[in-house]
């Protein structure tokens, strides 16, 4: 009884608690049912042994001045939807951005557009740099 009165008296706290619970449930659900895989930099390097891999950089052109992964294809995030038909659905696709947020969104979109094997680099290009993997400038 006192707990219910406390929750009623602390509406902001109660709302925040329920919002966090909902976000946690959504996060768990989305990870379990997503159609693409998130890989770390070691996993990304392993994928690069495959001839049928397209490495897709979804950063803006100006972001590429800090470097990029060799043999990648740059299509900024805002243009991917328009250029999706230029990508080969039979190839595996490894997507990256600066920190992994945009690449997750694009990987999700590609996997929902019938691309069979889609991967996103966890931590994006920043993780690639931190792992001291080779880049081009």
User: Residue 46: which pLDDT band, with cuts at 50, 70 and 90?
Assistant: very high
Q: Single out the residue of 69, 61, 55, 65 nearest to residue 107, CA to CA.
A: 55
pLDDT tens, 52-95?
Answer: 899 999 999 999 999 999 999 999 999 999 999 999 998 999 99
- The reply to whether 137 falls in a domain is no
Question: Does 86 lie in the same domain as 40?
Answer: yes
Mean pLDDT of the chain: 90
Q: Is the pLDDT of residue 96 over 90?
A: yes
Question: Strands (DSSP E) along the chain, which ranges?
Answer: 37-39, 53-57, 73-74, 92-96, 118-121
Question: Does 102 lie in the same domain as 117?
Answer: yes
User: Residue 31: which pLDDT band, with cuts at 50, 70 and 90?
Assistant: low
Question: Does 22 lie in the same domain as 80?
Answer: no
Question: Does 16 lie in the same domain as 65?
Answer: no
Record the pTM: 0.79
Domain of residue 12 covers 2-31
Number of domain units in the chain? 2
φ/ψ region of 63 (left if φ > 0, alpha if ψ in -120 to 50, else beta) reads alpha
- Per-residue pLDDT averaged across 9-14, rounded? 74
- What torsion, rounded to 10 degrees, do the Cα atoms 123, 125, 127, 133 define? 150
Question: Does 96 lie in the same domain as 120?
Answer: yes
Question: Does 47 lie in the same domain as 15?
Answer: no
- The reply to whether 136 falls in a domain is no
Using DSSP, state whether 115 is helix, strand or coil. coil
């Amino acid at each position: 009884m006192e707990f219910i009165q406390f929750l009623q008296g602390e509406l902001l706290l109660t709302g925040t608690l329920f919002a966090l619970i909902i976000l946690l449930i959504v996060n768990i659900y989305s990870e379990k049912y997503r159609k693409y895989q998130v890989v770390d930099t070691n996993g990304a390097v392993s994928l690069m042994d495959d001839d049928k891999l397209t490495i897709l950089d979804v950063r803006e052109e100006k972001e590429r001045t800090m470097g990029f992964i060799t043999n990648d294809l740059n299509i900024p995030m805002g243009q991917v939807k328009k250029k999706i038909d230029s990508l080969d659905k039979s190839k595996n696709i490894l997507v990256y951005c600066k920190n992994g947020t945009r690449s997750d969104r694009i990987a999700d979109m590609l996997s929902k557009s019938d691309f069979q094997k889609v991967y996103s680099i966890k931590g994006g290009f920043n993780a690639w740099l931190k792992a001291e993997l080779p880049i081009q400038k």
